[in-house]
Amino acid sequence: MGAVFLMIFPPEKSWGGNVYVSRFWHNHQPIYWPEWSANPQPERVQFAQDSILLKPGQLYDSGVAHPENDLSAIFSVGDRVNAYQSGPRNSLASVSSGGYAMSYSGSLINNVASLGAANSLGYGSGWWNGNREARNWITPGGSRKLDLVGFTYHHSLGAVLPKEVFRKEIQIFKEAYFKAWNTGSPTNHSKGFFPTEMAFSHHMIDVLADEGYQWTIVASHHLSRTLPAYMGNPTYTAPEANSWKIFSSPPNAADQLGSATGGAWWFGTGNVGETAWNHAPYAYQLHKAQYVNPETGVEKTIVLVPSDDIQSYKAGYSGWQKGLIDGNIAPYANDPARPCIVLPATDGDNAWGGGSSSWDGDAPGLMNNGTYPGVAIQDFVNQYGAAAGVVHIEDGAWIFPETDYGSPYFLKWVEPPVANANATNRVYNTQIDIETPGFSTKFYSWAPVIAGANWCQTAEQMTISEGGSVQAWKIQDPYDNLNSRTYSNPNLAERAWH
């Protein structure tokens, strides 16, 4: 029987070549107005349909209806109606080899579910059927053809969150996940994780491993930048310095702990600033990263799946480019035990990459290209993850966000209050001005985040010390709208986290 199975479903390692391709999509919409909803469910935040209905009466003292965002316009865009419902399945149906990975945030799940329950803006009660169906399609290697990977419920940036907040974000995400995709249990989920904005830091491994994730997607340049030879590229050597339009902060020498023999560097550009030097094959192979508990010495490990910075930009705004693989990656992929994976990662609901030309044409064209076999990420990890060694990876996000461009300091989201050119009140020996005119909204927004985290964690500790419990499913939605639609009677700590 085993021989018959192998003939019908050949193992993935029978595929030829040392370069594989795959595709990742990211779908998200936030809780636009986290005010309490109205009867008959007043003890939860507003989902999209709630905010649309309640907006005319939410004037407060400004006289302006809130949320100011036009949610009807946002959610009714045809490409989004498609991407949030049956579009991924329909695209994947034409893929002959491999599969897609996709993140679908918890807040998006509840937003779309609220619209679907009201048959509003093109959404229906069966909004989840397409993803449920495609998730149950299995590749010849035994993995899911549509891998709905782990994410944070609110699109929160795990790399800069307090650990227990990051943990809660994942736990409540898993509650929404298993109900939306009908997996039967919050423990039955993908082994893969997509960090928000692809922003990764090694301390996240501690939580990811505890929550059952085996691999995470990372930006390829954060592997390349750990190689000491990176600083020899023309970006950072005269006379070409600053002429290559890499606007990210230079790598810290303490991060340059990587080692690669052979191969070659290549430079790619998407837009001004959204550029990268990457090393082939190093930045396209699987690696592992490790977290060591400083108190106990216990080690936790996760597999790093690199996403190509430049192919991601191309796929997001015009389409993937085979020539970039032909000229810059394939010639250096010479180790069949450690092949390369080229993984464009884009939003599934924004820009060109979220449109029908991308979903229905470009992505299947990538997977069925005829030269580089399409692969599901989980199959690739299963086959080649064991050979990956432990390396250091630099902190940082993907190259897309302006003002950050993958900086290891997460500048877009932390944005320290830098003084202007003529300021005289800087903190000694720095560019930081804690007084005006160095005020930075993003920098100071962390005050309520950290204060709120402390409040919620303290409430949870008090509840548990008094014999109570704090349950993720009650935090995620006190009315369990994705399942029983009954009130769960959450305690004060659960309501605080919600």
What was the pLDDT predicted at 249? 83
Per-position pLDDT tens, the chain of length 498: 333 323 333 334 333 479 999 999 999 999 999 999 999 999 999 999 999 999 999 999 989 999 999 999 999 999 999 999 999 999 999 999 999 999 999 999 999 999 999 999 999 999 999 999 999 999 999 999 999 999 999 999 999 999 999 999 999 999 999 999 999 999 999 999 999 999 999 999 999 999 999 999 999 999 999 999 998 877 665 545 556 677 788 899 999 999 999 999 999 988 777 889 999 999 999 999 999 999 999 999 999 999 999 999 999 999 999 999 999 999 999 999 999 999 999 999 999 999 999 999 999 999 999 999 999 999 999 999 999 999 999 999 999 888 789 999 998 888 777 766 666 677 776 666 666 555 567 777 888 899 999 999 999 999 999 999 999 999 999 999 999 999 999 999 999 999
Please provide residue 232's backbone torsions phi and psi, each rounded to the nearest 5 degrees. -85, -5
DSSP 358-390: IIIIIHHHHHT-SSS-B--HHHHHHHHGGGPPB
| Fold type of domain 16-32+69-412 | 7-stranded beta/alpha barrel (3.20.110)
Please provide residue 124's backbone torsions phi and psi, each rounded to the nearest 5 degrees. -130, 175
Decide: helix, strand or coil at residue 321.
coil
What was the pLDDT predicted at 349? 97
Q: Looking at beta carbons, which pairs linking 93-96 to residues 24 or more positions away fall under 8 Å?
A: 93/134, 94/360, 94/364, 94/368, 95/145, 95/363, 95/364, 95/367, 95/368, 95/374, 96/367, 96/368, 96/374
How many angstroms separate the CA atoms of 108 and 110, rounded?
5
pTM for this one? 0.93
What was the pLDDT predicted at 5? 29
CB atoms within 10 A of CB 449: 14
Are 110 and 175 in contact by the 8 Å Cβ rule? The answer is no
CB atoms within 10 A of CB 337: 9
Which single residue is written with the structure tokens 């029978």? 14
What was the pLDDT predicted at 272? 72
The residue extents of the domains of the chain are 16-32+69-412, 415-497
Are 82 and 356 in contact by the 8 Å Cβ rule? The answer is yes
